Structure formats: structure tokens, C-alpha cells
Structure 1
Amino acid sequence: MSYKTKNALTGWMFIAVAAILITVFYFYPMFQSLLLSFQSGAGTNLEFVGFANYVRLFSDPTFLTALTNTVIYLLVQVPVMIFFALIISVMLNNDKLKFRGWFRTAIFLPCVTSLVAYSVIFKYLFASDGLVNMALLNTGILQAPIQWLTDPFWAKVLIIIAITWRWTGYNMIFYLSALQNIDKSIYEAAKIDGANAFQSFIKITIPMLKPIILFTTIISTIGTLQLFDEVMNITGGGPGNATLTISQYIYNLSFEYTPNFGYAATVSYAIVVLIVFFSILQFKLVGDKND
């Protein structure tokens, strides 16, 4: 056996177990779900129907509602969360700020809390007689309580508030790490040239954080397109499917309605298409022109 062949075999031995596990638990289920998306029927009584499930997507009013809701969450919540995470990270990167460690921990903590626990807490806080409405009524800001859970518009707002509260600190950590790797002499040179704090932020911080902004935007997009826990536990998709997401619709197709695993698999691939589409779009808008 040649030295080159021996080295190649040694390398494959190191990765063989991981490659087998990835194939069995990732690629095989993906392939099976793709085959499943071309079948339809109640429960396990499935039959091959070709592209009928994919054609059905475009005439399914519930799917179109879930798609619209999910895209609204994406277009509103992700930019707001990225903006807040960026601003907070810049503030907490200030060497003159006291108790920086405490503030960083406090803002990061929501993303390590239980999804179900915090969703239930939000549901009680934003109930018609909850703490939020009581505070707004007592301060005179409101004359009548906001129906956060039963009004279609405010229910969407509540979901956006919940996921922004949870994930802003997660993105903030990425920005903080990147900010600490920017040479402070760059800011000092800009200050000598007469640049103020806002100009330094626009002309230095934003361009230097461009790769991290792209990364956080993409992972936030993927997370929002897969949104399930908050909607399921806070509003249940209501009122009248006003907050229903694609992931919850997949759950309903599989476990709440008469089970149709074939069509549920088809809907799941709609998420895959959306993730690919928005990821490519973000690369084109934010990524380097030479890539």
C-alpha cells in the first residue's frame, strides 16, 4: 500500500463514523421526506400523486395565510431585532460604561430561557387584564385595554415583541465579539480627522461588521421562517389563523387535522425554498460584490 493511499484511508477512518451518522440521521430523512412530499392520503394510507401536493399549495387558503403571516414576521421583526442588537452592542462596547458585564448578561439571558416558559409568561403579561394593560391604563396611556391575544393586528405585534425580546441578546453577542476585534486606532484616526460618533458608526462600524450583519441576518431569517413555539404557546395561531405560521401549519396537518404526512412534507419544503430564496437575496444585497 502506497504512503498516499494509507494516509487517505487513515483520514477516512477518522471521519467514517461522523459521515455515517450524518447520512443516517440527516440525508436519509431529507431524501425520505422528499419522496413523502409526492404522496398523499390519511395517516399511513399513502399513494403516489406526483406534483399534486405542490399544485395544491397555491390554492390552499390556509397555507397562503400562514405564508403571509410568516413573511410579515420576517420583514418586520428581523430588521428591528438586528437594529436593536447592533445599537445595544455598540453601547455595551463602551469602555467607560460601568457594570458592562451585568448589562451584557441581563440582555443575553432571554435567549437561554425555556421557549415554552417565556411564551406562557408573555401570554399572561399581555392578557386583557394582564400586567402590561394594567400599567398602560394606570399611567393614562390607554383608555381601554388592548386585546393582544384576540385582535388580529395586536396578536401579530405581540408575537413580534416576544421573539424580538428573546433573540436580540443572541445577535448582540456576535456584534460584541466583532466590535472587540476592531482596532481602536481606526476610531482614533477618524476622531482626529473630525468625525463624530455617528459618522464613525456609519463609516467604520457598519462596514467592519458587514460579514457579521450578513451572518446574523441569515440565521435570524432561518429562525423566523421556522417560527413555531411562540405562536403555538401564546396565541395558538389565532385569532382565526391571524398568527398562524408555516411551521405550525405543518404541525396541524400532521397531528391536529386528519393526518396528511405527504402534504405536510410538501409544506415543509416550502420553508426550504423560502430559506434559499431569502439567503440568496441577502447575499446579493449585503454580501461582497466580488463573491
Structure 2
Amino acid sequence: MTPARRRALPYLFVLPALLLFAAFKLYPIAASFRLSLYRSTGGTETFAGLDNYTRLIDDPLFWTSLSNSAVILAIQVPLMLTLATGLAVALNSSLLRARSVFRLGFFLPMITGLVAYGIIFSVLLNQQYGLVNWLIGTDVPWLTDPLWAKISLGLALTWHYTGYNAVILLARLQSVPAELYDAAAVDGAGAWKAFRHVTLPGLKPALLLTTVLSTIGTLQIFDEPYVLTGGGPDNATLTIGMYLYQNAFKYFDFGYASAIAYALALIIGALGLIQFKLLGDKS
């Protein structure tokens, strides 16, 4: 075998994967970008240039959906990651018995189907017949009031994803050397100081990962508001993912939906860079 063929041989093994990636990833991405430059009128496509992108600036529903997603991102994600951090520390404690059972129990919500748990929460939070209102003894309009609908969506998301993030943080926490805690105890550090100066720095890479993943997931959220609130009431829980879906499959405005998708990708990319700058390793 010639040296050139020997060098080319490894590429033959990765060629099937490259072809699948090109067919199911690269081509749809390129086709979607091309679609965002066209306008569909009467079943025919006409070239529109950047009109679909400039249309976003004057579209109030786009800004409403972006604002709703930003509110969820700013409130629900920090709350969820704070709970996940506390949960990871508790599940890592040697004082906790049957740790494996608790770890499995807190991770189980993640394997629940998105539509299934959305339906369950819509039943639990029903204003007239829901179990939650029956337990608290009040008639809270969980799904029919704009503010309470946002809270309901945040509660559902927190229940579903907290355990998942806790498992990621727990895996990182178990790699923190026990000697660091011993050294902190020798120096007179209490539980809070040990958490602040040993646990949190040790969790920093995992916190960055969960923050970035949670940001991406929150900005792309679709299933939960679609099933739980339908984007209402009065567009209070309309997210970018839902607005994209409506334009594509309700109004069949695929060019504008593609422009929304690319605008969302740019927003996620920008936020990811900011998060890496703020939380990443300075070195």
C-alpha cells in the first residue's frame, strides 16, 4: 500500500459518519438559511434578501416571545441551578443513607416525556379541579392569569430539569479531592467557608456547563408552554420556539420562521460567549 493510500485509509472509516452529518445536519442548516432569504407568496417563492430579518425588528410578537424567554432565563435558570447545587451537595453527603435511591429519585423526572409531564402539570394546576388548589385551599388561576402562568411554567421546568443538573454537578463534586476539605477544616473553616472556598471553585466547570446547557434549552423551549398554556393567556408564555412553530406550521411562512431560527441561533451564540467570558477559566 502506498503512503498516500495509507494516509487516506482512516478517512474511509469516518466517511459514513461524515455523510450522515452532511445529509442530516449541514444540508438542513444551509437549506434553512437559503429559505430565510425567500418569501412564500401564493405557493411560489420570491427572493426577499434580508427582508425577513428586518421584519423581526418591527414585529411586536417576536419581541414579546423574546421577552418571555428572557424572563424565564433570568429567573427560572438561576433558581434551578441554585437548587441543583444544594441538591448535589446533599446527595454527596456521607450522612445521607440510601444515596443511590435518592439520586435515582431526583433524576427520574428527566426521563419523563415532555408532553406527558406537561399534561400532568396542566391537570395538577387546573383552577377548578386541580390537586394543588385543593391542597392549599385557594382558587389560584395558575394557567389563566399571565403572571401565574409564567410561575406555573417555571415550576414545571424546575421540577423536570433540577435533578438532571444536580447529577452533572454531583459527578463533578465527586472529583473534588477530600484533602482540600481536610485542609480547610485544619485552617478552621466551617461548613459555609468550605462550601464557598472549596466546593464552589471545584464545581465551576460543571456550573459553566449546566449554565450554558440551561440557557440553550430555555431559549429553545417549546413543548412545555405548548402543552401547559398554549402560549397564553394573552401571549404571556409565548416563547421564541412557539412563535417559530406558529409561523412555520400554522401560517406556513417558512422563510420568516427560518429567519427567527437564525436570529435565535445568534442570540444563543452571543450569550454563550458572554457566559464563557464571565464563568470560564481566565487562563
Band the TM-score falls in, shorter-chain normalisation: over 0.9
Aligned to 1:179: 173
Give the 3-state SS of the residue equivalent to 1:81 in structure 2.
helix
Cα distance in 2, alignment partners of residues 44 and 15 from structure 1? 40
Which consecutive unaligned segments of at least 5 residues does structure 2 have? Answer: none
Percent identity over the alignment? 44
Cα distance in 2, alignment partners of residues 274 and 158 from structure 1? 25
Cα distance in 1, alignment partners of residues 9 and 167 from structure 2? 38
- Cα distance, 1:43 vs structure 2: 6.9
CA RMSD, Structure 1 to Structure 2 (Å)? 1.1
Aligned to 1:243: 237
Aligned to 2:221: 227
Give the 3-state SS of the residue equivalent to 1:145 in structure 2.
coil
Q: Is the 8 A contact 1:46 1:262 kept in 2?
A: no
Which consecutive unaligned segments of at least 5 residues does structure 1 have? Answer: 138-143
Give the 3-state SS of the residue equivalent to 1:41 in structure 2.
strand
Confirm whether residue 199 of structure 1 aligns to residue 199 of structure 2.
Answer: no
Aligned to 1:30: 29
- The amino acid of 2:134's aligned partner reads M
Q: 1:281 aligns with which of 252, 274, 278?
A: 274
- Could you list the runs of 4 or more consecutive aligned residues of structure 1 that deviate by over 6 angstroms after TM superposition? none
The farther-off stretch of 39-48 and 19-28 is: 39-48
- Cα distance, 1:44 vs structure 2: 4.1
Confirm whether residue 120 of structure 1 aligns to residue 130 of structure 2.
Answer: no
Cα distance in 1, alignment partners of residues 154 and 98 from structure 2? 29
Aligned to 2:100: 101
Cα distance in 2, alignment partners of residues 78 and 44 from structure 1? 41
Aligned to 2:83: 84
Aligned to 2:40: 41
Aligned to 2:140: 146
TM-score (norm 1): 0.94
Cα distance in 2, alignment partners of residues 18 and 273 from structure 1? 27
- The amino acid of 2:271's aligned partner reads F
- The amino acid of 1:260's aligned partner reads D
The farther-off stretch of 94-103 and 158-167 is: 94-103
Confirm whether residue 169 of structure 1 aligns to residue 168 of structure 2.
Answer: no
TM-score (norm 2): 0.97
Confirm whether residue 132 of structure 1 aligns to residue 162 of structure 2.
Answer: no
* Aligned residue-pair number: 282
Q: Is the 8 A contact 1:238 1:244 kept in 2?
A: yes
Aligned to 2:19: 20
Cα distance in 2, alignment partners of residues 193 and 42 from structure 1? 73
Q: 1:215 aligns with which of 209, 212, 218?
A: 209
